[in-house]
Structure 1
Amino acid sequence: MVTRDVYLPVAAQPSVETLVEQAQRGEQLGYERAWLPETWGRDAVTTLTSIAHGTDEIGIGTSIVPIYSRTPSLIGQTATTLQEVSDGRFRLGLGPSGPIVIEGWHGEDFGNPLRRTRETIDIAKQVMRGEEVEYDGEYYQLSGFRLRCDPPDPMPPIDAAGMGPKSVELAGRFADGWHALMLTREGLEERMADFDRGSDMGDRDRDDQRVTLSLTCCALDDPGEAERLVRQHIGFYIGGMGTFYRDALARQGYEDEAYEVSEQWASGNREAAMDALPDELIEEVAVAGTPEDAADQLDAFADVDGLDAINISFPRAADHDQILQTMEALAPA
């Protein structure tokens, strides 16, 4: 059975308390986990600590914490602490993010993200096992230290984000799960094969690994407004967040459309960029409409074999009331 998680808003919210209240509402509605992204707003760690203290049952997780903004050992320490403050409800989601954020915000070189992701996973697992960390990698050479507190029990699973074939294969080989995003149903099935191949390469038990799809959703009484918000969101990610989302959609049969959106956005023609998004593409990668129509659209994504959870995400321009309406409309039955 495909469960439902909630992906707390990526856009700025009025306060940390607002995010806590949204997580609390997710808990009341029966969502299994509340994920929090970390971009250039409030940091995920402090906010998730507040959410952990403000909730009782809902799982929490980072989706994603960038691997370039913290050392792998610190990521392991952070996961250990969040597992403690949440009484065992934490799941660690990590990934490289993209060069615009990593170089423009963190001032770090976005080099070899696949290798950096692998080394981060390896080291974080050593830290969380309570071992003396010994590692001789391409980017990290570590020795002589171990956690000076008890290791987390149970150890938080690690999910890796990825859109391309190699990054998804890496998630299957080294991580405990995969965060999928900006994928059509057919594209998700293709990448699922990459994840399964990686799982085989790593001699992993596929039944112990979890695949979560982050799906942009907007369920409103005004279907035109729901579609407008989703269209704006997708246009921003294709045009304003580098090449990753553009290239992911190009691999899924929308090359001309993705490049047109990217070019119009780069030229400052935001409305033209959004107009260049065909209705078919919106329907393939997102959910938008009335509460009834959106629920039907969501059910179609749940049919993909190998998918464990759908992460209800929200358009970046959605306001607090629109977020809550969507959360309520698409809550687990």
Structure 2
Amino acid sequence: MTDAAADREVFLPVAAQPSVDALCEQAVRAEERGYDRAWLPETWGRDAVTVLTSIAHRTDEIGIGTSIAPIYSRSPALLGQTAATLQEVSGGRFRLGLGPSGPAVIENWHGVDYGNPLRCTRETVEIVKQVLSGEPVEYDGEYFDLSGFRLRCEPPSPPPAVDAAGMGPKAVELAGRFADGWHALMVTREGVRDRLADLERGADLADRDPDDVRTTLSLTCAALDDRERARESVRQHVAFYVGGMGTFYRDSLSRVGHEETANEIYDNWQDDDRAAALAAIDDDLLDSLAVAGTPAEARERFEKFATIDGVDAVSVSFPRDATREEIDATIETLAP
């Protein structure tokens, strides 16, 4: 966490792409345009490990990483093995981003009890780091009791960093205490500043230098000649997450003074009144959460996020309904 200019990264599309090759092409384009890293989420499309392996073989310099791999869909030991392997195949360019996702995803899709996500995240981060050290894993936790596991291959040198996602104060504090970085997503500029204080508190509790914990902000962006299309696409994306993806995004908006709006979005979305849900997101709120507009507007607004003190990297993310052409145009416009 530093005051230097933020790195420019790219968050490959959450929405389904036509092929693994399309995702690889987007990562190659990002590398050619000077982006520092390509992040890939793991939701309900292609698994992140296979795609990132393909990207590693198609690129030479750009970093790669998971943002975010759910902690409940793989065991901590397997996550450690996976991180070690991706670090090997990428030639040291991998960074592991972890997070608990939400109960709607974990319980309904994976059939796993959500339990205490904070404790499970902490234990997973600690176990993964033990695995990556190459030493035998001995761990006695609330969720995991492990003994005797050890990588059968040489441990990666250097080991990949292990980051944690978080939206609430305690989750961000946890990242500051135990992880190498914090991933922030769909949070206002004011919200980023509030949560950075939580990150510093966590680092202090662990007697760590907060500057050693890397903050990565995922920022939904649409930079298009068609201004209205850009803004409506991002507005729909925000409404979907606040209204349809559990309570975390709604709670995050509420914490920074938008409780009434967050509830209005949620209630309308649950009532299947999509138009009213989108209408609840006024222009000021949209611009505090995301970048949407013409190329010139987008570049100017992006800089307001990239210059937040304490943010080390901003990753250009895309709305759910962005087309390949719109993704390419935004990558091009917001390149370093």
How would you bin the TM-score normalised by the shorter chain?
over 0.9
Paired position in structure 2 for 1:69: 73
Question: 1:69-110 deviations in whole A, cap 9, x for unaligned?
Answer: 000000000000000000000000000011111111111111
Which 5+ residue runs of structure 1 have no aligned equivalent? none
Question: 1:203-255 deviations in whole A, cap 9, x for unaligned?
Answer: 22323221000000000001100001000000000011000000100111110
Identity %: 67
Once the two structures are TM-superposed, the CA of residue 270 in structure 1 deviates from its matched residue by 1.2
Is the deviation greater in 103-112 or in 131-140? Answer: 103-112
Q: Name the SS of the counterpart of 1:322 in structure 2.
A: helix
Equivalent position to 2:210, from 203, 206, 209? 206
Hey, what's the Cα distance between the residues in 2 that align with 1:302 and 1:20? 25
Paired position in structure 2 for 1:228: 232
Question: 1:97-135 deviations in whole A, cap 9, x for unaligned?
Answer: 111111111111111000000000000000000010000
**Residues 128-147 of structure 1 mapped to structure 2, 5 A cutoff:** 128-147=132-151
Matched, 1:297 2:280: no
Hey, what's the Cα distance between the residues in 1 that align with 2:211 and 2:290? 27
Matched, 1:55 2:63: no
Hey, what's the Cα distance between the residues in 1 that align with 2:262 and 2:208? 35
Hey, what's the Cα distance between the residues in 2 that align with 1:260 and 1:39? 26
What amino acid does structure 1 have at the position aligned with 2:321? A
Q: Name the SS of the counterpart of 1:87 in structure 2.
A: coil
Q: Name the SS of the counterpart of 2:148 in structure 1.
A: strand
**Residues 218-297 of structure 1 mapped to structure 2, 5 A cutoff:** 218-297=222-301
Once the two structures are TM-superposed, the CA of residue 315 in structure 1 deviates from its matched residue by 0.3
Paired position in structure 2 for 1:160: 164
Name the count of aligned residue pairs: 332
Equivalent position to 1:95, from 99, 108, 117? 99
Q: Name the SS of the counterpart of 1:34 in structure 2.
A: strand
Paired position in structure 1 for 2:182: 178
The CA RMSD measured in Å over matched residues stands at 0.7
Which 5+ residue runs of structure 2 have no aligned equivalent? none
Q: Is the 8 A contact 1:34 1:59 kept in 2?
A: yes
Q: Is the 8 A contact 1:257 1:278 kept in 2?
A: no
Is the deviation greater in 12-21 or in 298-307? Answer: 298-307
What amino acid does structure 1 have at the position aligned with 2:234? V
What amino acid does structure 2 have at the position aligned with 1:89? R
Matched, 1:127 2:131: yes
Matched, 1:148 2:152: yes
Paired position in structure 1 for 2:114: 110
Hey, what's the Cα distance between the residues in 2 that align with 1:157 and 1:50? 20
Q: Name the SS of the counterpart of 1:288 in structure 2.
A: strand
Once the two structures are TM-superposed, the CA of residue 271 in structure 1 deviates from its matched residue by 1.5
Is the deviation greater in 104-113 or in 24-33? Answer: 104-113
Task: List 4+ stretches of structure 1 deviating above 2 A.
Answer: 205-208
